[in-house]
Amino acid sequence: MRVITGTARGRKLETLKGDDVRPTTDKIKESIFNIIQFNIEGRKFLDLFAGSGQMGIEALSRGAEKAVFVDKSKQAYNIIVKNLNYTKLNDNAQILNMDSISYLYQCNMKFDIAFLDPPYRTGILQEALKKIADIMNIGGVILCENPYEEEVPEYVGDFRIKKQYKYGKIKITVYSHKDIED
């Protein structure tokens, strides 16, 4: 796992160990960042269920103003700290070692991009989607990574599915505000 481009390009990142860990592959990560490539610089990025923090780190490397990393695992928190220090991107990062759903209910910040990649087939994605629109700017983008067969709602608050992409058994869903033209 590595940073694809930007100021930390080529830097290898550490990942969590274990059978239940499934980091976003470089191919999918590159596809996601191709989708939002013109919406990153100077924006606020939320890496919810952050794991190793690779998505938020990629956003910072590409010029995001700020990235907030949320994961309830202490091991994930420690890996994110290590990866941010290694890439020298920690000045514009905030790392929270807490439950992601709880964070959504107490968050008072607005984001331009949110990436959600919770544990699969647990219902946590659907729970997070109920609240995520409340912390998004109108021009924002919500990105979800989940199993292809898992359904996600067409509307999330005032955000609607703009497009879905299939990568093998994985689906990326992109939501944008209903009042924003494609």
Q: Which CATH architecture has domain 26-177?
A: 3-Layer(aba) Sandwich (3.40)
The H or E element containing residue 124 is helix 124-132
- Specify the pLDDT at position 22: 63
d(CA 177, CA 144): 15
Q: How many residues does the chain have?
A: 182
Amino acid, single-letter form, for residue 160:
R
- Specify the pLDDT at position 20: 57
Q: Model pTM?
A: 0.93
pLDDT in tens, 102-152: 999 999 999 999 999 998 888 999 999 999 999 999 999 999 999 999 999
